[in-house]
Structure 1
Amino acid sequence: MTATKPRPFETVRLRASLDQIRSVSLSLVRLPLAAPISDAKVLTGRQKPLTEIAFLFAQITSEEGHEGLGFSYSKRAGGPGLYAHAREIAPELIGEDPNDIARLWDKMIWAGASVGRSGLAAQAIAAFDVALWDLKARRAGLPLAKLLGAHRDSVDCYNTSGGYLSMPIDEIVANIDAALARGIGGIKIKVGQPDTRADLERVAAVREHLGDAVPMMVDANQQWDRATALRTGRELERFNLTWIEEPLDAYDAEGHARLANALDTPIATGEMLTSAAEHWNLIQAGASDFVQPDAPRVGGITPFLRVMALADHKALSLAPHFAMEIHLHLAAAYPRTTWVEHFEWLEPLFNERFELRDGQMLVPARPGLGLSLSDQAGAWTTDRLTI
């Protein structure tokens, strides 16, 4: 009997490798907020109150009819810039295999490398990258969390949108009651006022209202200097906070590390960073106990997964910033302690809603991100293009 000579791997063409990206649709959407909101950056005069959020949406369709939806965003300035950069590099995807996500991320970042490989350039790529991961998970018939390899089917969640400095304390208390009744498990409020005594009074009032059992966080939005952060952090120890967020400038790795070593309360930071390399600088320095990457800001899910691996290597907890519509799936795929941040602001953009139960947000059973754009998103669209 003559044995059949095996075919070398390089001559075997898998069915998945035959698909190609047929079209990419881009849209710039401006979501208005119900009321202007302010954090510490507004009180220090560095920013104006936030009134709207600009979203860059990417919808990718393959020759075999598979589709994926992704988005990036910008608060205040930057939305038109994201859209313009995405429009320039989108043709790089046409004809490519949508399975090759990491290679396509490299291709896109180098296509615009003259303006950098982080910042706005990475954030524009994020919309494409998220759409490609959504497409892959939809094609597999799996929620994105399951495609990545989920460690849990639900994630602890906390609310931020009800605790801004522009809100009086009675409004914050009412927002807290509504959030807890909805099934949210933790509460975060903003601090960082010029008078730290006012911050302490607000924290004390909220902690008294919550009691000791409900997890509570505070966020200074980078507006303290090192001395103020240390003094105020010591005052905050008595409130048993889950973390103090962004007490210092986002790039002050040394200062955050000193603070993390000096305080019992965990430190959380990282939301403003725009690359995996920037996160590694903070992680190596021991600058935080909770790593807070933002997938749209770091360039999408592909670099976010690198940040997750780096954080896991250092045995750190994870609390992604904003965009729960993406981060729920990523947090579910992280092996250690993790939280997801609840903002109801984006809900009008999508037809679907996430389920909250007993302090946790449940990973939906729908394939991919489990999202589709609403008619309202179309009404708020100011620019669109299909390539």
Structure 2
Amino acid sequence: MRKSIVIKKGLSSDMRFDLKDGAGSDAVHTSPVYAYAVCKLATDTELEGVGLAFTLGSGNKIVCDAIEYLVKHIEGKEIYELMSDFGTTYKKMADDPNFRWLGPHKGVVQLALAAIVNACYDLWAKAEGVPLWKLLTDLSPEQLVNTLDFSYYEDILPKHEAIELIKNQKAGIASRENIIKTGYPGYDTSIGWFNYSDEKIIQNVEAAMDNGFAAMKLKVGAQNAAHDIRRAELVRKVAGDQATIMFDANQQWTLPQAIDICSKLKELNPFWIEEPTHPDDVFAHMALAKAVDVPLALGEHVPNKVIFKNFIQSGCMSFNQVDAVRVGGVSEFILISLLSRKYNIPVVPHVGDMGQIHQHLVLFNHITLGHPALLLEYIPHLREYFKSPAIVKDGKYLTPLEPGMSADLLQYEYSY
């Protein structure tokens, strides 16, 4: 008989980590402090749920304050009962009348929601004694969709259609489960942070290839476009014509600038160009996609399912970079992944969690939803702070086996 596990109290932790020597820098965030707003769910057992939202500095405390408020929606709830109809509770949290005006469904409130939601899924997987990917892949289609909130998706992906989509993927599950043994392909996003010198980039590209990475990403978005082009040409030259190269502008360009620079970067055969302009500007991305025939990767800073819905319908999104520690956690990630699957847009998540949670989610996406196993971003800078850090060998994520979503952090004191 299944043991009852009641959430007694939800707490937040403000955890920040200084980066060294230019790591993590991009065209906008030139001196980032990686930070997690952590939600911990204490229960009437020894189990504890841990969920993360990712930020970049002092704003982290505001997210923690929001967690302390919103977590009241799940305190006192039994975890199995909660997750059996989690979509209903999710909607109540997202639409809390005292906080909704601050969004709705974006910014600080959405980040706090992500941390709480992720903690619920973590506790659920720990209660079952399995890793999150196993929990999710073992759920029936009906159980899975009951964890989702289909508000504003009724016109494009109603609940019954989502169930059928999942059922239609069952035929290929056995072959797709091979990914558990082979590992999920990763790409090295740390070869070319914005503040890195040319010499360091060359060293990093060579090291990445020695470590089995066939794909890597360079930060662009400098005030001087010639600087970007030169560094992009350098990476292509060192990595070779067969390497998979991506360029990430971190929203730095206006539409005219994006059209001009993307036209030049196209000559280097990028796998994608990421966040070329403002992340809310769907029409600018549509115009760019029409003007320059280059794949666009979008979603790192897209905050919710509705804007993802617009991007997916628009036809300008080549790769979906939904991040479960920015949107409303695992629940909203799965819903967005379902819609992306309907439109045959592959999901290659941005990993604000450093890949800890997303290593589970891409396995689920591939096995259950039939998404192609393309790539998962790898950022190693916070490995030492996790109890069970993601393991990448020969350029592939090894399948995590510990119960939960791999989000548990070691105790760490940060002064601010």
TM-score for both structures, normalised by structure 2: 0.81
Mean Cα displacement is larger for which, 169-178 or 312-321? Answer: 169-178
In structure 2, the residue corresponding to 1:159 is in which secondary structure?
Answer: strand
Partner of 2:8: 22
Change (3 A) 1:244 1:51: closer
Mapped contact 1:183–1:356 kept (Cα < 8 A)? no
- Cα distance in 2, alignment partners of residues 204 and 114 from structure 1: 46
Mean Cα displacement is larger for which, 329-338 or 319-328? Answer: 329-338
Mapped contact 1:126–1:301 kept (Cα < 8 A)? yes
Match of 1:227 among 249, 256, 264: 256
Mapped contact 1:192–1:224 kept (Cα < 8 A)? yes
Deviations 1:315-344 (A, max 9, x none): 001111122111111112222234211111
1:197-236 → structure 2 map (5 Å cutoff): 197-236=226-265
Identity across the alignment (%)? 29
Partner of 1:325: 356
Match of 1:58 among 39, 42, 56: 39
Partner of 2:89: 104
Match of 1:265 among 245, 270, 294: 294
1:86 equivalenced with 2:67 (yes/no): yes
Mean Cα displacement is larger for which, 257-266 or 135-144? Answer: 257-266
Mean Cα displacement is larger for which, 345-354 or 247-256? Answer: 345-354
1:133 equivalenced with 2:121 (yes/no): yes
Shift of 1:71: 0.9
Match of 2:100 among 113, 116, 125: 113
In structure 1, the residue corresponding to 2:250 is in which secondary structure?
Answer: coil
Shift of 1:77: 4.4
Residue type of the alignment partner of 1:102: G
Residue type of the alignment partner of 2:260: R
Residue type of the alignment partner of 2:53: S
- Cα distance in 1, alignment partners of residues 381 and 10 from structure 2: 26
- Cα distance in 2, alignment partners of residues 65 and 381 from structure 1: 29
Partner of 2:190: 161
Match of 2:270 among 233, 241, 244: 241
Shift of 1:372: 3.0
Shift of 1:64: 4.3
Mapped contact 2:16–2:57 kept (Cα < 8 A)? no
Change (3 A) 1:114 1:196: closer
- Cα distance in 2, alignment partners of residues 264 and 320 from structure 1: 22
Shift of 1:15: 4.7
| Structure 1 gaps, min length 5 | 1-13, 42-46, 383-387
- Cα distance in 1, alignment partners of residues 343 and 13 from structure 2: 38
Shift of 1:292: 0.8
Shift of 1:82: 0.2
In structure 2, the residue corresponding to 1:22 is in which secondary structure?
Answer: strand
Mapped contact 1:182–1:356 kept (Cα < 8 A)? no
- Cα distance in 1, alignment partners of residues 290 and 128 from structure 2: 45
- Cα distance in 2, alignment partners of residues 169 and 235 from structure 1: 20
Shift of 1:122: 1.1
1:35 equivalenced with 2:25 (yes/no): no
Residue type of the alignment partner of 2:273: I
- Cα distance in 1, alignment partners of residues 134 and 294 from structure 2: 33
Deviations 1:21-60 (A, max 9, x none): 123232111111123453222xxxxx5x224122111221
Mean Cα displacement is larger for which, 20-29 or 295-304? Answer: 20-29
Match of 1:142 among 130, 135, 140: 130
The structure with the greater share of residues assigned to strand is 1
Deviations 1:114-149 (A, max 9, x none): 423322101011111111111111222222112222
Deviations 1:292-319 (A, max 9, x none): 1111111211111111011111100111
- Cα distance in 1, alignment partners of residues 115 and 303 from structure 2: 14
Mapped contact 2:295–2:318 kept (Cα < 8 A)? yes
Shift of 1:288: 1.0
Task: Indicate the structure (1 or 2) with the bigger Cα radius of gyration.
Answer: 1
Change (3 A) 1:155 1:260: farther
Change (3 A) 1:262 1:26: same
